[in-house]
Amino acid sequence: AAKKDGKNTYKIYQTDFSEDIVRKLDILQALRQAIKNNESLTLHYQPIVDDKKIVGFEALLRWNDPTLGFLSPAEFIPIAEESGLIIPLGEWVVRTACTAFNELYKNSEYMPYLSVNVSTKQFEQDHCVSKLKKILEETNFNPENLKIELTESIMMKDVEKIIEKLNQLRASGIGVFLDDFGTGYSSLSYLGVLPINTLKIDQSFVQNINDSAQEAIVRTIILMAESLEKGIIAEGVEEVGQLEYLKNLGCQHFQGYLYSKPVPFEEIPNLLNKEIHK
């Protein structure tokens, strides 16, 4: 029977394959429109906390397209990267988030930092840093309050160039986080020389932290960060048990559903007003 099905199986595969492509093209076209019209894209913000308070927020893209419905960044960010749309999209994110946070700072007693994801594709662009600085000037945003999140895949690029750009960021006061740390290609020898402020431990390690092998990895990352004088943020903290584990290992900054899901901008004041006792 398996042999008889051979042809059909091939057909099914072929259909799935072309459906994939059609879906991609639909997303690409819709995303182009969304960026142009500035309507269906928004940002949500997720708190990053220490023991007592919110220290910062990460901006995360949300896209509810009128025809395609809600799309996950995991689906549309790779398409934006492949197509180059990540450049205007990434700039929109920085501009929108900085404008929003200026509003927040006007009405808030203290100033949690703003962290934005910058894709490797975007960071590779020659003028990425000057573009970032220009947006900060235009929005009149204090660079000291901005962090950018890069992933380890930047280490696979021209490292000399990357270091130069990271130094430019540092000189301008913008902080740099290394996102999803531990999941990608991380060259430990580069890690020592890259001017990066903070490592964000990927949520996959946090979620399996009661597994002794995973715990050993987290312990090692934290020790390494300490000796390299880099900060640590644990991502994806969902349970008190995970939090206790991480605290015992010396981790001091956390992000995850345990505190809050990413929320619309309007809800930030509520989060800031409510004290954290966890």
Q: Does 149 bind Mg ion (CB under 5 A)?
A: yes
Q: What are phi and psi of 236, to 5 degrees?
A: 70, 30
Which CB, 152 or 272, lies closer to ligand C2E?
A: 152
Please report, as ranges, the residues that interact with ligand C2E according to CB under 6 A.
Answer: 46, 60-61, 72-74, 77, 90, 93, 117, 119, 149, 179-180, 203, 235-238, 255-257, 262
Given ligand C2E, Mg ion, none, residue 48, with its beta carbon under 5 to 8 Å by kind, binds none
Please report how close the Cβ of residue 6 comes to Mg ion at its closest, in angstroms.
39
Q: The tokens 């000796």 sit on which residue? A: 227
Alpha helix (H) residue ranges in 69-187? 73-83, 86-107, 120-123, 128-139, 159-172
Q: Does 119 bind Mg ion (CB under 5 A)?
A: no
Instruction: Report strand pairing: 175-181 vs 146-151.
Output: parallel
Q: Which is nearest to 265 in space by CA: 58, 3, 72?
A: 58
Q: Does 179 bind Mg ion (CB under 5 A)?
A: yes
Q: Which is nearest to 146 in space by CA: 175, 119, 171, 122?
A: 175
Q: Does 117 bind Mg ion (CB under 5 A)?
A: yes
Helix pair angle (6-37, 73-83), 10° resolution: 80
Sequence-distant (6+) residues with CB within 8 A of 85 are 28, 31, 32, 35, 79
Binding residue (CB under 5 A) for Mg ion from 165, 180, 254, 262: 180
**Residue 250, Ramachandran bin (φ over 0: left; ψ between -120 and 50: alpha; else beta):** left
State which of positions 210-249 bind Mg ion (CB under 5 A).
235
d(CA 260, CA 267) in angstroms, rounded, equals: 11
Which CB, 182 or 236, lies closer to ligand C2E?
A: 236
- Which tokens go with 15? 């259909």
Which CB, 65 or 149, lies closer to Mg ion?
A: 149
Please report how close the Cβ of residue 107 comes to ligand C2E at its closest, in angstroms.
24
Please report how close the Cβ of residue 210 comes to ligand C2E at its closest, in angstroms.
16
d(CA 200, CA 253) in angstroms, rounded, equals: 9
Q: Does 255 bind Mg ion (CB under 5 A)?
A: no
Part of the chain binding Mg ion (CB under 5 A), chosen from 104-112, 133-141, 145-153, 211-219: 145-153
Q: Does 152 bind Mg ion (CB under 5 A)?
A: no
Q: What is the DSSP letter of 239?
A: S
Which CB, 77 or 221, lies closer to ligand C2E?
A: 77
Which CB, 13 or 70, lies closer to ligand C2E?
A: 70
Which CB, 148 or 191, lies closer to ligand C2E?
A: 148
Q: What is the DSSP letter of 183?
A: S
- Binding residues for Mg ion, per CB under 5 A? 117, 149, 179-180, 235
